[in-house]
């Protein structure tokens, strides 16, 4: 059974540095610029790092039980399904711990479809992102590229997740999700898709940061000559965090 309290949140301590960036990124005024980025080598290397980190992370999460098996991306019951959101839920299935655990598991499994479907949009966003301080990112901490992409995208990841999530929910007509929705009048599958996207957002960025740290630790494994050269340069060695773990 998957617990809904998720005391395992301590696994995310190594990523607490991202929360400040995440808070800024959530502001509606922060958007991804559309202008073409400078074609210098450092900027191109950062962009390649962003694209590859994103693809690797979303590919991992898109595998069966990808979210449930992740120490940082797995999420608990979205606020939408909280007992306090509707009086009708107080005596219905959402008041039953066993049902809530089952619902959490199903929603994490549906999130896999969102991760798979978001890959093209996220990769395109990274390719278009103007890089203001490419050298600083390459010389920075293990998750500097992830932090820069997150700050620039704002709510872009949530927006990329929602369409494939809604499509998966509509196609599946899952009985557990249907029973939960029935307990909350007015809630639709679109609302559920949005709730999953919001709940998965932070964890996905943590997973992307972890993927970036893996690439920095072993650039040769990418097979990308330009990226290998940029990350192998002595001045481009990322400084480890105090705990030796990534912080997007």
**Cα–Cα distance measured from residue 52 to residue 21, given in angstroms and rounded to the nearest whole number:** 20
Joined tokens for residue 152 = 């620039």
Domain boundaries, the chain: 43-233
CB burial of 156-187 (b: ≥16 within 10 Å; e: otherwise) equals bbbebbbbbbbebbeebebebbeebbebbeeb
Single out the residue of 209, 116, 197 nearest to residue 156, CA to CA: 197
**Cα–Cα distance measured from residue 241 to residue 142, given in angstroms and rounded to the nearest whole number:** 8
pLDDT tens profile 92-140: 899 899 999 999 999 999 999 999 999 999 999 999 999 989 999 998 9
Q: Of the given ranges (168-177, 179-188, 231-240), which has the lowest mean pLDDT?
A: 231-240
Joined tokens for residue 154 = 């704002």
**What per-residue confidence (pLDDT) applies to 14?**
39
**Integer CA distances (angstroms), 183 to 95, 175, 187, 188, 198, in order:** 10, 13, 9, 11, 21
Start-end of H helices in 183-222: 189-217
97, with CB counted inside 10 A (0-12, 13-18, 19+), is exposed
**What per-residue confidence (pLDDT) applies to 185?**
87
Single out the residue of 78, 167, 75 nearest to residue 118, CA to CA: 167
Percent of the chain with pLDDT over 70: 75
pLDDT tens profile 19-35: 334 433 333 333 333 33
**Cα–Cα distance measured from residue 34 to residue 31, given in angstroms and rounded to the nearest whole number:** 9
40 DSSP 8-state letter? -
Q: Are 107 and 67 in contact (CB under 8 A)?
A: no
**Cα–Cα distance measured from residue 125 to residue 117, given in angstroms and rounded to the nearest whole number:** 14
Chain-centre distance for alpha carbon 54: 9
């Amino acid at each position: 059974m998957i617990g809904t309290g998720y005391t395992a949140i301590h696994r995310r301590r190594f990523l607490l540095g991202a929360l400040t960036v995440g808070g800024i990124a959530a502001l509606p005024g922060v958007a991804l610029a559309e202008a073409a980025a400078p074609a210098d080598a450092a900027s191109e290397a950062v962009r390649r790092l962003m694209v590859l980190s994103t693809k690797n992370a979303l590919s991992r999460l898109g595998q069966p039980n990808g979210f449930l098996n992740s120490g940082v991306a797995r999420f608990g019951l979205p606020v939408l399904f909280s007992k306090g959101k509707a009086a009708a839920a107080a005596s219905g299935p959402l008041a039953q711990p066993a049902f809530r655990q089952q619902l959490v598991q199903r929603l994490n499994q549906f999130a896999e479809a969102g991760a798979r479907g978001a890959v093209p949009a996220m990769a395109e966003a990274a390719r278009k992102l103007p890089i203001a301080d490419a050298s600083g990112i390459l010389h920075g901490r293990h998750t500097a590229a992830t932090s820069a992409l997150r700050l620039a995208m704002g709510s872009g990841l949530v927006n990329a997740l929602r369409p494939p999530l809604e499509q998966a929910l509509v196609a599946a007509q899952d009985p557990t999700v249907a029973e939960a929705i029935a307990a909350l009048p007015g809630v639709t599958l679109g609302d559920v898709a949005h709730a999953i996207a919001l709940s998965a957002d932070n964890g996905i960025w943590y997973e992307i940061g972890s993927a970036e740290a893996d690439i920095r630790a072993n650039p040769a494994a990418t097979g990308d000559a330009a990226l290998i050269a940029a990350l192998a340069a002595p001045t481009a060695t990322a400084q480890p965090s105090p705990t030796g773990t990534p912080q997007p």
